[in-house]
Structure formats: structure tokens, C-alpha cells
Homo-oligomer: A and B are copies of this chain.
Amino acid sequence: MTASSQDVLGRIDGEKESYLDELKDYLRIPSISTDPTHDDDVSRCADWLVGKMRAAGLDAERIETEGHPLVFGQWNGAPGKPTVLFYGHYDVQPPDPLDQWRNPPFEPTVEGDLLVARGATDDKGQSFAHLKGVAAVLAERGSLPVNVKFIVEGEEESGGEAIEAFVRADAGRRLACDAVVVSDSSMYAPGQPSLIYGLKGLAYMELRVHGPNRDLHSGTFGGAVANPANALAQILAQLQDKKTGKILIDGFYDKVRPLEDWERKEFAALPFDEAEYKAELGVEELWGEEGYSPVERAWARPTCDVNGLWSGYQGAGAKTIIPGSAGAKVSMRLVPDQEPQEIAELFRRHVERITPPGVRVEVISHHGGSPVVVDAQGPIVDAALAAAEDVWGKRPVRVREGGSIPIVATFAQVLEVPVLLLGFGLSDDRLHSPNEKFNISHFYNGIRTVARLLDRMGELT
């Protein structure tokens, strides 16, 4: 490791506790962007973050949008040096099912090396590591070796329309930079840093099947009228082949870029313990699209998952009704070069084509994001890989990821600079699940990696 960061790394070691306490404060704010009843919390969270950026010495502000506010911060005191843009999001997923949490989701709890709370890893913990890494250098030296910018959004879990619009409208003026750093993902394995070069896109749909104008007695009317819940099951069953796992929507695979040989080789070479993976998930077997390994399916093949279902009577015991309606949330994860709007339209047409007689179906398109494969070459990327190796002691592996970070595709397309997907989380962080956690040691290493990244990039001529 070059000597140049020892001062900062020493300070980071000295301030660990206060960094953790600040992160806990951040996690106590229930900034659930998908739930309108939490709008005030989301707004409060944005203000909290602006305060932290200013305290760190950044010029920070809250940018109002049609949705939740963006938080923008910058330090431009290194003329002639590269500029790094750090992206993150301060909103979180809903915490339900609440009864499965060991502790309240918004009361961060330390369990050994784990910090347990909604948003711990996705993305408050990882994004806050960016800020503390920059803050540590500024506090130690009063200046940075490069220019930095932060853009932190509050709608990543609910569509990200605001930042999408902002980046396109800004067209690289305020957001002008030489590289974007995104930490909203996992490392391939504990101790194994990873540079993610591919992300899936997303098309999130909702189906509402309408039958009779009320719940009906299933004895008096059963057999005479179509049942919306039966009809919904028929529709959902015709989205995916039950044997091959292929998605049956016409044209769905037309623009799917096949896995390249080098990718299949590199993925196959990565350590993957299927028995351990199944045990951790509590399933007896893995299942998915025929002809691909679990890693290939999760990272580089499109999927179609029912995320929610509801109809009729869900209580204890029995209620003999034909429900008046039934609904489902269905999301498709996309790979290059599928486009969310086009897939949403193919989905709509498919559903209209297979809707059974006697019911009416509403197809609602919630939001989407484009899949992306980024270029992971060049001196800036090398600096990032070196910085990660400095801290973690291992060269990052190149992997893809099944998650969707819609804005990454937009950054790559609009800013035309390298997008560095350096995740500090782990695959068992239970993001979107009860008892979400972030390893505290990874939080600190994330801070160190950012500090090293600034020095490594400052050395670039």
C-alpha cells in the first residue's frame, strides 16, 4: 500500500465509533419511498444527509423534484485533477413482514460484527461509507486529492424517476465527472472484492382481474360465473413454462444478448457451493431456466417473478366466496438489450391475449429500468481495482449482478464515463428481507476503500 493514505487510515481507525453512531442515526429514519404515509420521513432523511455533507465540508443542497428530493454535494478544490461522482440512495424498502424481525427494523441493533436494520446495506450503509471516506480525508488534510461530487436519491426503491429526469436534463453540467462510483451491491464472497460490470433491468407490472361486482356465495353462483382468482392463476401460469422455466411472452427473448464464452468460463471458475447456497435459503433444490447454471440465471438471464398476490378471504378458517377481484404484482428482470417499456408492452399484449372469458384485466406498469453492461477497462478502473486490493488484500473479480440499478445505465449513457460498481455488501445481507444487515467491518473497509480510491486517482496524470 502506498504511504499516502496512512494518515487518513489512522484517523478512520480512531473515529470508528462515531462513524457507526452516525450511521445508526441515518438508519433510524424510516425513509420508505414506496409508501406515501412515509413521505415526511423521506424528506427528513434528505435534510439529515444535507447536514452531514455540510459538516464534512462539502457544498451541499437539497434538490426538489416531482417526487422525493435529491441530495447533491460537491468539493471542487482540486483544479486539473479528476472528478469522482459518488452515487447512492437514502430511501429504503418497506420492512414487512414485520413479525419476522428480531428487533424493530428502524432501531439499528449490533449483533457481533453485524449491524441489523432496514437499509443497513441497501443502501444507507454503503452510500454513507462514501461520505465518511471523503470526510475523513478532508478532516485529516483540509483538502482532497481529486474533486468529488455526490448525488444521493430518495426513489431508488420506487422507480427513480426523479434522478433519471435530473441526469438527462443536467446532461453532464453539474454532474460533469471522470468516473461514477456506485456501491449498492454485494461482493462476490466475504473477503473477495468485486467489480460488477453487468446489471439487470426491471419491468414491474401489476395485474388486477375483475369479475362480478361483489364477492359472491360460491355455492349459489359457483359454476355460473368466471372466478377472478382462478382466472388470475391461469394468467400467471401462462407467463412461464412450468417445465423449462422459459418465459412464454411473445418476443420476450428477441433482444436478449447471449452469454459470451469468456463470461460462462469466468462464472464457472468462481467458487459456488450449491449445497451451502441451498442450505442458507432453506430449499431442497434450485430451479430456473433450463440450460443455464444458477449463477448464469441469476446474473445474465431474464426472469419473471410474482412479487405479490391477493384475492378474497385471507383470514383464519374458511369463507366460501367467489372473490369479486384478484390482483398480483409481477416483475421481470431484464438483460441487455431488452428495454423495459418494450417488455412492458409485450407483457400487456400477452396478458390481453390469454385473459380467460368472463373477467376483465387491468395491466398497470409500475416502473422499469434498463439493463446495462459497463466497460471495465482503463486507468481509472485500474485505480479503483488497485484501491480495493490495497484495503481487502485481494484483486477484485469481474462479475455481473441480478439486481437492478436503473440509474447506472443512464450514467453510462449520458455522462459517457466509466461507472465503477464497487459493492461492500454480502450476498447474505438479506436486503429487501427481514433482519437486513451490513457487516460493520465492511462498513469500515468501504470507508477505507474510498479514501484509497481518492489517493489512487489523485496519482493519475
Task: Give the B-binding residues of A (Cβ under 8 A).
Answer: 34-36, 93-94, 96-97, 100, 157-159, 186, 200, 202, 204, 211-227, 229-230, 232-234, 236-240, 242, 277, 281-289, 294-295, 297-298, 301, 303-323, 326-329, 331, 333, 356-360, 366-367, 401-404, 427, 430-434
Contact B366 A217 (CB under 8 A): no
CB within 8 A of A333: which of B96, B219, B281? B219
A316 proximity list for chain B (CB < 8 A): 34-36
Q: Looking at the assembled complex, report how far the CB atom of A237 sits from the nearest CB atom of chain B, in whole angstroms.
A: 3
Q: Looking at the assembled complex, report how far the CB atom of A315 sits from the nearest CB atom of chain B, in whole angstroms.
A: 6
- 6 A-B pairs with least C-beta separation: A213-B282, A237-B237, A219-B403, A223-B297, A287-B358, A233-B236
Q: Looking at the assembled complex, report how far the CB atom of A307 sits from the nearest CB atom of chain B, in whole angstroms.
A: 5
Contact B284 A312 (CB under 8 A): no
A315 proximity list for chain B (CB < 8 A): 34-35, 94, 96, 308
Nearest CB to that of A274 among chain B residues?
B224
Contact B317 A306 (CB under 8 A): no
A288 proximity list for chain B (CB < 8 A): 223-226
- 21 A-B Cβ contacts within 8 A? A159-B318, A202-B320, A215-B432, A215-B433, A216-B433, A217-B432, A220-B431, A224-B286, A224-B298, A226-B288, A232-B233, A233-B233, A237-B238, A285-B358, A287-B357, A305-B322, A306-B323, A310-B311, A318-B367, A320-B404, A321-B432
Query: For the complex, what is the distance from the CA of A316 to the CA of B414, rounded to whole Å?
Result: 31
Nearest CB to that of A279 among chain B residues?
B213
Among A94, A283, A326, A431, which residue has the most Cβ atoms of chain B within 10 A?
A: A283
Contact B281 A225 (CB under 8 A): yes
A220 proximity list for chain B (CB < 8 A): 186, 298, 401-403, 427, 431
Nearest CB to that of A33 among chain B residues?
B317
Q: Looking at the assembled complex, report how far the CB atom of A428 sits from the nearest CB atom of chain B, in whole angstroms.
A: 10
Nearest CB to that of A358 among chain B residues?
B287
Query: For the complex, what is the distance from the CA of A223 to the CA of B322, rounded to whole Å?
Result: 33
A322 proximity list for chain B (CB < 8 A): 305, 307
A236 proximity list for chain B (CB < 8 A): 229-230, 233, 237
CB within 8 A of A214: which of B221, B308, B359, B433? B433
Contact A233 B225 (CB under 8 A): no
Contact B321 A311 (CB under 8 A): no
Query: For the complex, what is the distance from the CA of A303 to the CA of B358, rounded to whole Å?
Result: 16
Query: For the complex, what is the distance from the CA of A276 to the CA of B314, rounded to whole Å?
Result: 31
Q: Looking at the assembled complex, report how far the CB atom of A366 sits from the nearest CB atom of chain B, in whole angstroms.
A: 5
A200 proximity list for chain B (CB < 8 A): 219
Contact B319 A34 (CB under 8 A): yes
Contact A218 B318 (CB under 8 A): no
Extra contacts, 14 of them, besides A220-B401, A224-B286, A229-B307 (Cβ < 8 A), are: A213-B281, A213-B283, A214-B433, A218-B305, A219-B403, A219-B404, A222-B305, A224-B297, A226-B287, A226-B288, A227-B305, A234-B242, A285-B357, A318-B329
